[in-house]
């Protein structure tokens, strides 16, 4: 075993310093959502929004119209979610790049 290779703990300041050295042109703030928050957001779009649309439509105009509204809203939500996942790359693994 090579004696020159040793593990050491690093601080957040050291991590930020390395990040700044790798990306010297990125002085502006960037907001990045964590993977867990992205999944929660996608769940909200795919489940809560269509169910709320169905409930609103069913209470206002009846069950059949509520179902039609929910299907339309669900199709729109699927389009938005697929755009976020596939086109904007929300679920891409950063280590694959």
| Domain chopping of the chain, boundaries | 34-90
Report pLDDT for 11: 75
* Cβ atoms 71, 53 nearer than 8 A: no
Q: What is the pLDDT of residues 28-47, one digit of tens each?
A: 444 677 888 899 999 999 99
Q: What is the pLDDT of residues 40-75, one digit of tens each?
A: 999 999 999 999 999 999 999 999 999 999 999 999
Element (H, E) at 12: helix 12-22
Separation CA 22–CA 4 (nearest Å): 24
Per-residue burial over 8-29, b = 16 or more CB atoms within 10 Å of its CB, e = otherwise: eeeeeeeeeeeeeeeeeeeeee
Separation CA 48–CA 53 (nearest Å): 9
Percent with pLDDT over 90 in the chain: 51
Among candidates 73, 92, 90, 97, which has minimal Cα distance to 38? 90
């Amino acid at each position: 075993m090579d004696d020159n290779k040793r593990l050491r703990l690093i601080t957040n300041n050291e991590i930020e310093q390395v990040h700044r050295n790798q990306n010297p042109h990125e002085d502006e703030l960037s907001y990045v959502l964590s993977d867990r928050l992205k999944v929660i957001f996608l769940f909200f779009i795919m489940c809560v929004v269509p169910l709320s649309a169905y409930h609103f439509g069913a209470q206002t105009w009846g069950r059949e119209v509520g179902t039609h509204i929910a299907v339309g809203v669900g199709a729109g939500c699927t389009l938005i979610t697929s755009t976020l996942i596939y086109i904007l790359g929300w679920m891409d693994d950063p280590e694959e790049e």
